[in-house]
Amino acid sequence: MILGIGTDLANIDRIQGTLDRFGDRFRNRVFTAVEQAKSERRHDVAGTYAKRWAAKEACSKALGTGLRMGIAWKDMAVSNLSSGQPVMHVTGWAEARLAQMTPPGHEAIIHVTLTDDHPWAQAFVLIEARPVAPDRG
């Protein structure tokens, strides 16, 4: 079953402006080391950050919380499989919220897809609950 869906569109030029203005303060508050490493080695640095920003916003919508002041952004983190496919990993408050919305006997799976076409970066996040196979032990 579907537990939640969220989307966000982020403006790459606005993210570039924030990077220019706040630098590492912005990077370190919002993005994990993995997200920063990926973005900083890209030709399109701001576009790569903007996709991850959109993914966090979309994830917060799928979790049904939205974004509030003081939120721990790094508790929603994007990494990439070797195929390039993005994966969303939640920790802290986001992990607790996910557990709270997952029905008993189910596991939650977060699906994320990203795209960008300057000046826009877009993300969709979908949260699925799958029944856990009964323990036959």
Contact footprint for ligand COA (CB under 6 A): 48, 51, 80, 83-86, 114-116
Minimum distance from CB of 62 to ligand COA (Å)?
Answer: 16
Dist CA 102 CA 104 (whole Å): 7
Query: CB-wise, 115 or 132, nearer to ligand COA?
Result: 115
Query: CB-wise, 3 or 54, nearer to ligand COA?
Result: 54
Amino acid at 4: G
Minimum distance from CB of 70 to ligand COA (Å)?
Answer: 27
Asked if 73 and 30 touch (Cβ cutoff 8 Å), the reply is: yes
DSSP-derived 3-state class of residue 21: helix
Asked if 46 and 19 touch (Cβ cutoff 8 Å), the reply is: yes
Tell me the residue nearest to ligand COA as measured from the CB: 84
Query: CB-wise, 4 or 47, nearer to ligand COA?
Result: 47
Burial class (CB in 10 A: 0-12, 13-18, 19+), 68: exposed
Minimum distance from CB of 114 to ligand COA (Å)?
Answer: 4
Query: CB-wise, 60 or 122, nearer to ligand COA?
Result: 122
